Structure 1
Amino acid sequence: MEPVMVDAHLDLAYNARALGRDLTLPLEALRAQDPHPDTPLVSLPSLREAGVAVVFATLFADPRAGGREDWEEEVWAQLHLYEAWEAQGLVRLLREGKDLEGHLARFPQDGVPGLILLLEGAHALASPEALLPLRERGLRLLSLTWATANPYAGGNAEEAPLTEAGRALLEAMAAWEMALDLSHLAEAAAWEALRAFPGPVCATHANLRALVPTPRHLPDGLLLALRERGGVVGLVPYNAFLHPGWRRGMPRLPLAAFLQHKARAEALLGAEGVGLGTDWDGGFGLEAVPLGLDRHRDLRGLGGGGFLGENWLRWLRGWF
């Protein structure tokens, strides 16, 4: 039996709504009709074909477009889409630990991907209390920012500290048994959040700042802090996140560029602290991933069972 695969970051509902992609199609059919210049990397059938058992599926509203009411409306629309897919038997929403274990028992027979919901950026929340209705519908992870600063914390593109509202939000997350995703946080805010938040922490989609020196990626110190907290980092097979000189339109990088990040991450966190967080529907397509990768099934050549999924499952079982 092939190892269980977990992808810790996919913007499935956002892609379906913002780009109009019918993710229920087989990947080849989606590529044949997609009007966008970036070749799609993900569809629900392609996840099933690859044996992806668990996905951290985002609720994401672009903070650069609209205002808080628009963002809130978009987040709920995406949640409703995930629930509609579940009603059609296309996915299975995993809201609690018992759901995860039941899903993993059924997955070898039915192959239905299980989704764990992640709110990517708290800018859609009017207050920490606004998190509770989402938590009651199954939300289990939250990243405080997406790139830009918001009332809760600074982001990787807009430095600012963790605010008092951010501390209150972290308190609510801990009370409601949620996990913190450090991805996109400003470095100072990330350190403050680690000190303030007692619950489970991870970075669903980030690479190594030592190899790609931009604020989007994690410095060695934060990676070591993740290790101390028993966290996992999800590495992104995206060329711009693998080599600082790569730009759109350039030739695709070799797989060695990704494996370099993996080796360094494992040296810092241990082999048990590294997994996948592809973000393969996060604003880029096939043209921007390393050679040899065409879809999720190709990721199986990048590592063993721990890296492909067991590390994330072990982390989840510690709190979920």
Structure 2
Amino acid sequence: MFIFDAHLDLAMNAMEWNRDLRWTVEDIRKSEQDLTDKPDRGKNTVSFDAMRQGNIGLCVATQIARYVKPENPLPGWNSSQQAWAQTQGQLAWYKAMEADGFIKQITDKATLNAHLKSWEEDRENTPIGYILSLEGADSIIDLDYLEKSYEQGLRAIGPAHYGPGTYAFGTDSVGGIGAKGKELLKKVQSLNIILDATHLCDQSFWETMNAYQGPVWASHNNCRKFVNHNRQFSDEQLLELIDRDAVIGTALDAWMMVPNWQRGKSTPEKMGVTLDLMVQNIDHICQLAGNSLHVGIGTDLDGGFGTEQSPSDLDTIADLQKIPELLRNKGYGTEDISNIMHKNFIRFLNKTWK
């Protein structure tokens, strides 16, 4: 089945972790077997080849660069200008991969539907489609830079990532959007950029919902019902997104899937982390909505973690093809499964890109 993955940090892996995604997953792992700078060295799950094997022909691919003020203990750049330059390097990598024929940027309804037709008719010779998204808006120096990003193809943006940001407060922080955040939202709405609610802390989430009326999705978010942490959305937040006709992409980071995960100590096998837990999150959102129209796949694979913190029955991203059968076993029919695997996000884009 064709799969739309709503969140992959492809450029981060290429530019910061020095992974050539044109290689196979196996070759990338071999190249990292003696590296110890990151817990997921030699445990990556994503490459263009693996995406093709899994029929993942369309994804949302990110730019990401955090600007941290002196009092912020998180890693990041010391100025928004440095963060902007980092996102531009990431964009240059995407463009180089386009020139090499591996990927193709999707920016509007025409390019979206032409890509889907081409993939269906000649998958082997069609580049993987990607929609450019910015995870955390700290690199937007001022709103003129948001316009520049839009001209470069940016079509989705998350106001915050982890901690306090320039425009909103994110995961593991508390605060609202303030005047700058409201100005950003107004500009996002005027440009018809999709707002990604992922990572917004509760206060910033609700202030954003009150201030913003444009298209919104949550590219990679699970349910607080199963893991009681501010990174996940409560049923009230999920219902708000459903009411706004959003789509929520479910993620595969183990700590978001099972409670009491301890980084560096817990293992997927011992904690019982499998793709069934993704289906559990999918099913919960469907039950809240009363239908299968508001949930999809947003794996976040290789988003700072690898197989050491992924479902034990997933070796590479190609194993997403196991999900349809798991959904069938849960009682989902073919149309519902198609909605979840790709149709919901594609329908959302066709509605947004008039």
- The TM-score range, normalised by the shorter chain, is over 0.9
Counterpart of 2:288 in structure 1 is: 268
Report deviation, 1:170.
0.9
TM-score with structure 1 setting the length = 0.96
User: Which one of 240, 246, 253 corresponds to residue 225 of structure 1?
Assistant: 240
SS across alignment from 1:318: helix
2:266 maps to 1:250:
yes
Supply the distance in 1 between the matched residues of 2:137 and 2:317 (Cα, whole angstroms).
29
2:68 maps to 1:48:
no
The amino acid of 1:11's aligned partner reads D
The amino acid of 1:195's aligned partner reads N
SS across alignment from 1:86: helix
Task: Work out whether residues 48 and 112 of structure 1, in 8 Å CA contact, stay in contact via their aligned partners in 2.
Answer: no
Counterpart of 2:322 in structure 1 is: 301
The amino acid of 1:65's aligned partner reads G
Supply the distance in 2 between the matched residues of 1:242 and 1:282 (Cα, whole angstroms).
15
Supply the distance in 2 between the matched residues of 1:264 and 1:111 (Cα, whole angstroms).
35
Supply the distance in 2 between the matched residues of 1:112 and 1:249 (Cα, whole angstroms).
39
SS across alignment from 1:92: strand
Aligned pairs (5 A) from 1:80-229: 80-108=92-120, 109=122, 110-229=125-244
1:179-231 superposed Cα distances (whole Å, 9 cap, x missing partner): 10001111111111122112110100111111111111111111001111110
1:235-280 superposed Cα distances (whole Å, 9 cap, x missing partner): 0122111111122332312333332222212211331111111000
SS across alignment from 2:132: strand
Counterpart of 2:345 in structure 1 is: 312
Report deviation, 1:297.
2.0
Report deviation, 1:37.
4.2
Supply the distance in 1 between the matched residues of 2:137 and 2:310 (Cα, whole angstroms).
28
User: Which one of 77, 81, 86 corresponds to residue 66 of structure 1?
Assistant: 77
1:120-179 superposed Cα distances (whole Å, 9 cap, x missing partner): 111111112210011001000000001121221111222110111111111111111111
Instruction: Could you list the structure 1 runs, at least 4 aligned residues long, displaced by more than 6 angstroms after superposition.
Output: none
Supply the distance in 1 between the matched residues of 2:296 and 2:167 (Cα, whole angstroms).
28
The amino acid of 1:209's aligned partner reads R
Supply the distance in 2 between the matched residues of 1:119 and 1:136 (Cα, whole angstroms).
14
2:291 maps to 1:279:
no
Report deviation, 1:111.
4.0
Instruction: Report how many aligned residue pairs link the two structures.
Output: 318
Unaligned runs of 5+ in 1: none
The amino acid of 2:169's aligned partner reads G
Supply the distance in 2 between the matched residues of 1:307 and 1:206 (Cα, whole angstroms).
14
TM-score with structure 2 setting the length = 0.87
The amino acid of 1:232's aligned partner reads V
SS across alignment from 2:199: coil
Supply the distance in 1 between the matched residues of 2:135 and 2:234 (Cα, whole angstroms).
21
2:96 maps to 1:75:
no
Supply the distance in 2 between the matched residues of 1:163 and 1:139 (Cα, whole angstroms).
23
Q: CA RMSD in A?
A: 1.3
Supply the distance in 1 between the matched residues of 2:237 and 2:267 (Cα, whole angstroms).
31
1:89-133 superposed Cα distances (whole Å, 9 cap, x missing partner): 110001111111111111121242101000111111111221001
SS across alignment from 2:293: helix
